[in-house]
Each structure stands twice: as structure tokens, then as C-alpha cells.
Structure 1
Amino acid sequence: MTTLYTVRFRLFFVLSLFTTYLYGQTGSFQQLETKVYKLNNELKFNESQALLLPVIQDDAVSNEDKYQAATLLSYTYKRVFDYKSALKFLDIARTFASETPKKEQYLTAIQSEKAFILFDTHEYKKADRLMSQLAKNGFAYINQENKSKLIMQQGYLLFLSKQYEKAESTYDLAVSLMRTSSPCDLPMIFVKKMQLYNAMNRSDLMTEALRKSSFYADSCKIIKYDIYTYDELLHIYEGRNDLAAILQTKKKLDSLNLVYASNEQIASLHDQKETILLKNKDQQLSQKTSMEKYLTIILIGVVVLAMALLGWLLRYRRGQRQLEADFIRMKSELETYIQMNKSVALSKEVPESGQSAKLSERQQDVLKCMATGMSNKQIADKLFISENTVKYHIKNIYLLLEIKDRKEFLVNVKKPTV
């Protein structure tokens, strides 16, 4: 049996994902609500839950739609008489409702639903307190269907206090409202009228209320209302000690319970809920693991990149230090070379050959400065001319003296005079 449930749950889960996708595409919650109502009437409570639970857990769904889904799931559990779970999902619906623009309206609806559950579990005082608060506010935000149910419950409290005539008129008002808003729920009122007419010893009216209750339960195919009807009828016959009617009613009730299998449905719903929640946790864990792997890869990449960058910087710094050392060495050698040539040049007149006749007075001034090892800028500063002018004179000097560059000039200057 457990294996069979597991297979069914997996199928329901796939179905839920598909339905959630469609819901996200159409955005029509009305369609989902209609489908859930139909599934519940067909006793396919697992499929209802498989449709609704993923909606509640989906972060992409709005709080308003999550509120609706949680409320529908509460209805589903209420249909199998699991009122504890029904209240739990109403509390979940409350958390979502509090985050919507229609907060007051939704919280009022939740309050009325809790009043119904308290009433069904015979906690009449608690239910009455909630109903009194709703009535005090004029049943604001309560739709006609729920209003008819609340009025029915007020009628039942009148019945308990033996105010039968007031109870009957209150039930009639509830019937008129329910008939136009939600006729499939009329059996809940007619069962209450069965109790009332039995207490009033009106068997004819009780039989008529039984007929109407069975008619609407069968027409809408809501087996829960058939069970509710015959369960109450059994209590009535037990009170009368009508053995034949008791046996006949028990036989009918047993056949209905066999079809409905309430306890099995509750267990199945809870098992499925745990399966769906576990599946969701597994998905979250898988996503978390994937994210951690992804972050680890990124971190390793960053570390490798940082090490590569550090290695490049170290090589760059070594290269820079080598260049600086080479520059200092070359500068030292050049300064030594210039000082050596400067001492030689000072002991000679440059030039002594007839080539000096080829040079202008300014060119000879530049030539003498060059012989002392002065740079172009130093020559320009000394002769009060620009560096470009110095370069121009030097170029002409090289042409006139047939010298290629300053190095050759300094070598010639070092040659001894013959």
C-alpha cells in the first residue's frame, strides 16, 4: 500500500508542476479554484493538495494568490474532517493575507472560516464569540454564501436554547441566501432543520428536510453531505430507539463511509504533503549545493587570477629594478666618460686645423662647449639660445667637420696632436 501511495504522490507532484505552470501562464486563480472544488467533490483530495501546495511554496506567486491557495487547502482538509490541519492552513492564509492590500477583507473571511470549524467541532461558545464580532460589524466583507452559513449557525444556537420558532425562521433566512449563492451547500442547513423538526415532533417536516438534503447532496455529488445527513438521521433514530430504522440507516451510512474512507484520505493527504515538502526541500538543497559549487569555482578562478596577477607584478618589479640598475650603471659610465674627455678637451684648442675656418663664430662657441662634455641644454643655457638652435648648429658642425655623431667627435678630440 505504501509503494502504491508513493507512485501516486509522484504522479500528483508532476501534475502539480504542470498545473502551476499553467496557472502562472493564465494568471486565472478562478480556474484553479473551480478545479479544486470539482476534485474535492470527486474525492480526489490528493490531487487538490498536489495543485495547491506548490502554489503556496512558490516565491514567484503573489501573497494574494498564496492566501487563496492556503484557504482552498483548508477547505480540502475540512472535507475529510481534519479540522486541525484546516485551522493550520487558515493560519498560513492569515500570514499571506496580512501582506496584501485587501488585508481587512481577507482576515474577516478567515475569521468566518474559523467560526465554521469551531462550530463543526462543537466549540459553540468560541464560535459564537467570533460570529458576534462579525455580526457587530454588519457582516462586512462577508460574501452571501458565508453570511448564510453564519446565520445558519445562529439558528442552531437558538435551537440549542430551545427557541424553536426563532431557530426555524433563522434557518429559513439562511436557506434563502444559500439557495442563490451556493445551493450545493444547502444540505448543511436541511440537516439542522431535521434536528429542529425532530425536537418539535414534526416527522413530516423532518422527512421533507431529509429528502431535500439528500437531493442536493446527490445532485452536487458531495458524498460528505450524504454522510452528514444519514449520520444525523442515525442519531435521531437512536434517540427514538427505532431499531429497524437504526439498522437500515447504519447500513446506508457504512456504505457511504466505505466509499468516502475518511481516515484513509486523511492519512493519504498527510503522507502526500510530507512527500511534496520533502521534494521541495531536496530541490532547495540541490540548488544550494549547485550554488556552493558555482561559488567555489568562482573563488578558485579569482585566486588563480590573483596569483597570476601577483606573479606578473613581481616579474614587472624585477624588470623595473633591473632597468633602474642598468640606467644607473650607464649613467655612471657616461659621466666617467664625459669627465675623461672633458680633461683632455681642456688641454687642447679645438679645432687646430684649417677646418676651423669653415665654422662660424657661433658654431665655434658650440664646438668648444661640446668639447667640454656639456649637454645640448647646458650649451643652450650658456649661449642663451634654444636647444633646437643648438641642435641645428651641431648638425652643421658634423657636416663641415665630416663627423657622424658626438661619439666620433669626442674620439677625435682625444687624439694627440701631431
Structure 2
Amino acid sequence: MSLNCARCIAVFFLLFSVLFSAQSINLNSLEQEIIQNNRLGNYKLSQKKLSDILLNVDLTNEERAHVVFFMAATYRSVGDYTMCIYNLGRCKTLAEELPADHRLKMRIDYEYAFVYFDNKDFQKSREVMNHIALQNYKNPFPEDQSYILMQEGFLFQDERKFEEAEAKYNEALKIMKTASPCNLPTVFVKMMTLQGKRKNVEKAEQIYEKSRALSDRCNILKYKIFAASEMERIYKENNLLGKAYLIGSELDSLRGLEDIESTVSEMHLTDKAYTRKGVFIKEESEHWKNNVFLIFTILIACGIVFYYYQKTSKIKIDKLKMMQELQEMKLEIDAFSDTQTKFYNGEKQFFLSSDELTNRQKELLIHMADGLSNKEIAEKLFISESTVKYHIKNIYGILNIKDRKDFFRRLSQNS
């Protein structure tokens, strides 16, 4: 194969590898971006970011599983629990190929517990929480652990075990202060609910003010709505209708800012559009990859054919040269045999008649005409090989001969 052809194929193979190699993404940075968007109520921005990555980036199986997990968390943040569960199912399928101790598998279990709880399917949430307890996961995310404690506290509260519930909430509060201070309103609201159950409205109001101040400081609209909605419910439950009306008016304004129903509706439309686009891109991508692979295969085949063509041509040329050399050798052998005969018949006495040659040198010339090597001549004459070389050098000088080949050539010419 020629060097240029080999280089072309090597370059094409390199480009082929680059085109089909997986691109890496920074999962930690991506998750922080999604969390920040969701806290600010930019759920559609999160969905678009994640959908674009799923469609346009060649992800590894692990990366794809994480991106789908972030999508599930986004849908839970917006309160679309059906889509959250659907994406968790996709994520779980992708995660099956990951090692048994992979942290994503733990996070999927936690997220299932949260979404079932948020959807008020407490039985399923309790089952998942029991499963988590049996797994004895190592190094869980502190924030997730805080949410689990809150859920356990709520279940105690639902059974009117208020002391146990309060202990769980305080434990969750302690962890959340360190893990994620801006998420403290999620604990505060649970504690408000507990005080409402105890008919301690004043205590609930104090906790509500803390939650409201923190939500303002962290600029998290959904937590403002979450806390105000719970405070409205506590007022109504305790027949404080005036206060309920005032906070209800404020709540309507906050909900108008968030416009969750419109957001969820737009996210569903976007998801359908991306799904259709994904199918189209997948078909186009497969078609493109097939064409590239076909071209690559044709180039390789052409390279192989070209290589064997050159190799075959070289073999033919080498064979032809070999035949020519054999023919020349045959002619030389024939000429040498004829020369030897004539040399002994006295027709080449012009070499041996020189008065400048000694008898030993003439004897050596006869052995040279017989085709003997220096070593063989030395053995015949019982002298050293270096002495033979010395005599031959002198003979060549006397007879004006260049080398042994010239010697036989001159014998042939004078035949």
C-alpha cells in the first residue's frame, strides 16, 4: 500500500473515531444549574437545557441516566408527579447497567420516596422508605436524608404521635441548616403543620415568619407559596377566617407570579416537541452514520484492493527480474564452462605466457579459472588464505585485471 493511501485511511479512521466518540459533560455543574433554575421557578429553562443535552450530546449510559434523573427532579419541583415518576422509570432502566453500589441508584430510591410522598401516596412512600432503610446506603446526600426525616416525622404526625414527629423535624432541621440553608422552609412548613395540629397558631405564625424571611432572602418563590398556603390552611382549620382571607389574597398574587398551570402545560408541549424532534434526529443520525460507515468500508476495501494490486504487480516485476537474472546467470555459467575448456586446451595461454608471472601465480590462476574460492585455493596449495589474496592482488596488477569478474569476462572475450 502506498504511503499516501495509508495516510488517507489513517486520517479518515481518526475522524471516524472522533465523530462517534462520546462527549463528556460536567454532571455536578449541570445539576447545580438545574437546581438554581428550579429554585427561581425557571422550570422551562431546566427542561430545555436537559432536553437539548439528551438530543444533541453523545452521552455515555451513566451520563444519560443522570440527565434523565435531573429531568425527573425538575418535574417534581413543578408538581407534575406523573412525569416525574415516568422519568424515574426511564432513569432506573438506564441505571440497571451501573454497579450495584452506584450512588445514582440510591438517589433514584430517595426520589421515588419523595414523589410518592408529595403526591400523597403515603403507602408507597413508606414502602420505599422501608426499602431504603434495609439497603443501609452509605454516604447518602445530607439534604435527601433531611427530607426522609421530614417524611418520617409527617407520618408520625399523621398518627398523632406529635413528640416523635417533632423530634424528626428538629433532626431534619439540624441537617438542613448545614446541607442547604435555603431549603429550610421545607422543614419550617412541616413544623407549622405540626403546631397547627396542636392548635398552637401563634407558634405556627412565628415559624411562618422565619420561612417567609428566608424565602425572600434566597428568592425562592415556590417556598413563599408553599408556606403561605399552609398558613392559610391552619387559619381556616382554627376558624380564623379574617387572617385566612388576608393571607389568601397575598397567596393569589404569588400564584399569579408563578403560574404553575401554564408552566406545566408548556412543559408538556415542549416535551412532545422534543420527543418528535428526537425521533427525527435519531433517524437522521442513524442514516448519516450508516452512510459514513458505508463510505469508510468502501475506502478500506479500495485500500485493500490497491494494496494487493501493488503487491501483485511487484511480485510480477520481481519474478520477471528474477527470470532475467537466471538467464544471465545461465549465460555466464555456459560462458565460464566454455572458457574453462578453452583455458585448458591452451587457447587462453595469453594469461599463462606472461614472463612476469611466477609458476605459483600461474598455478593459482588455473585454480581461479576452475572457479575455486580463495579458501579452496589455499587448501589446494597448502598456503594461507591471506597469501592467496596477496598473490591474486599481484596477479591483477601484472595482468591489469580489476577483479575476478573482470578476469572471467576477459577470458570470455578472448575465447
TM-score, normalising length from structure 1? 0.62
Change in Cα spacing, 1:266 to 1:235, as seen in structure 2 (3 Å) is same
Shift of 1:207: 1.5
* Structure 1 residue aligned with 2:60: 62
Counterpart of 1:183 (choices 181, 184, 193) is 181
- Aligned partner of 1:156 among 151, 154, 157: 154
Shift of 1:82: 0.2
Cα distance in 1 between the residues matched to 2:290 and 2:135: 53
Question: Conserved in 2, the CA contact under 8 Å of 1:195 and 1:236?
Answer: yes
Does the 8 Å contact 2:232/2:247 carry over to 1? Answer: yes
The residue type equivalent to 1:67 in the other structure is A
Q: Distance between the aligned counterparts of 1:275 and 1:243, measured in 2?
A: 45
Structure 1 counterpart of 2:108: 110
Cα-to-partner distance string for 1:40-87 (whole Å, 9 max, x where unaligned)? 222222221121123334673122222221111111111110011111
Separation in 2, partners of 1:123, 1:293? 50
Higher relative contact order (CA 8 A, sep 6+): 2
Q: CA deviation at 1:179?
A: 0.8
User: 2:120 aligns to what SS in structure 1?
Assistant: coil
Provide the residue aligned with 1:192 in structure 2. Answer: 190
* Aligned equivalents of 2:296, 2:102: Cα separation in 1: 48
State which of 215, 229, 236 in structure 1 corresponds to 2:213: 215
How has the CA–CA distance of structure 1 residues 290 and 196 changed in structure 2, closer, same or farther, with 3 Å as cutoff? closer
Structure 1 residue 296: Cα displacement: 9.7
Give the drift of 1:278. 2.0
Say which SS state the counterpart of residue 213 (structure 2) adopts.
Answer: helix
Identity value in percent: 25
The residue number in structure 2 matching 1:231 is 229
Cα 1:101–1:295, aligned 2, differ >3 Å: closer, same or farther?
A: closer
- Contact 1:171-1:189 within 8 A present in 2 as well: yes
| SS of residue paired to 2:253 | helix
User: Which has the higher Rg, Structure 1 or Structure 2?
Assistant: 1
Given candidates 227, 250, 253, the residue that maps to 1:252 is 250
**CA 36–270 in structure 1, closer or farther in 2 if over 3 Å, else same:** same
Tell me the equivalent position of 1:5. none
Name the amino acid aligned to 1:128. Answer: R
In structure 2, the partner of 1:374 is none
Which runs of 5 or more structure 1 residues have no equivalent in the other structure?
Answer: 1-22, 302-386, 389-418
Any idea what the Cα deviations from partners look like across 1:117-156, whole Å, max 9, x if unmatched? 1111111121112112222344534221111110111111
- Return the offset for 1:210: 0.6
Partner of 2:81: 83
> Corresponding residue for 1:168?
166
Equivalent positions of 1:11-410 (< 5 A) are 24=23, 27-57=25-55, 60-101=58-99, 103-288=101-286
* Structure 2 stretches lacking a partner, 5+ long: 1-21, 300-333, 336-415
- Whole-Å Cα distance in 2 between the matches of residues 162 and 175 of structure 1? 20
Change (3 A) 1:286 1:232: same
> Shift of residue 286 of structure 1?
3.2
Structure 1 match to 2:411: none
The whole-number CA distance in structure 1 between the counterparts of 2:62 and 2:100 is: 8
Distance 1:296 1:180, change over 3 A: closer
Query: Residue type of the partner of 2:261?
Result: N
Q: Alpha carbons of 1:110 and 1:288: their partners in 2 closer, same or farther (altered >3 Å)?
A: closer
Distance 1:277 1:153 in 2: 34
211 and 286 in structure 1: CA distance in 2 versus 1, 3 angstrom threshold? same
> 1:74, 1:89 within 8 Å by CA — same for their partners in 2?
yes
The CA distance in 1 between the partners of 2:216 and 2:129, in whole Å, is 30
In structure 2, do the counterparts of structure 1 residues 161 and 293 end up closer, same or farther at CA, with 3 Å as the change threshold?
Answer: closer
Letter in 2 for 1:50: K
CA gap of 1:175–1:278, structure 2 versus 1, over 3 A, is same
User: Using the alignment, how far apart are the partners of 1:56 and 1:149 within structure 2?
Assistant: 29
Query: 1 CA distance for matches of 2:82 and 2:266?
Result: 16
Confirm or deny: 8 A CA contact 1:97 1:103 kept in the other structure: no
Normalized against structure 2, the TM-score is what?
0.62
Q: State the SS of the aligned residue for 2:173.
A: helix
CA contact (8 A) 1:109 1:141 kept: no
CA contact (8 A) 2:23 2:57 kept: no
